[in-house]
Amino acid sequence: MATKTCCGAHIPTNIVKTTYKDKTLYFCQRDCLIEFMQDPEIFLASSHFKLNFEELDDV
């Protein structure tokens, strides 16, 4: 199970998550999820995304 959000923070109690390309992504807040949903590939390439996508847990 993943232990960090996309920005590298520990997962808060109010988990915000989604599935993308068979991976589970966790977010520290809903705003980050909204930004991700607008353009997932740009979000994953941004400096805000601090994890290795390939190492995330499969769904």
Q: What is the pLDDT of residue 11?
A: 80
Signed CA dihedral, 19, 22, 26, 32: sign only: negative
- The Cβ-side half-sphere exposure at 51, using a 13 Å CA radius, reads 19
Q: Taking a C-beta distance cutoff of 8 angstroms, is the pair 24, 57 a contact?
A: yes
Verdict on whether the full-model pTM lies above 0.75: yes
Q: Which two tokens stand for residue 32?
A: 């980050």
What is the chain's mean pLDDT, rounded? 88
Q: What is the DSSP annotation of 3-57?
A: -B-TTSPBPPSS-EEEEETTEEEEESSHHHHHHHHH-HHHHHHSTT--S-GGGSP
Write the pLDDT tens digit of every residue in 22-33.
999 999 889 999
- What local confidence, expressed as pLDDT, does residue 56 receive? 86
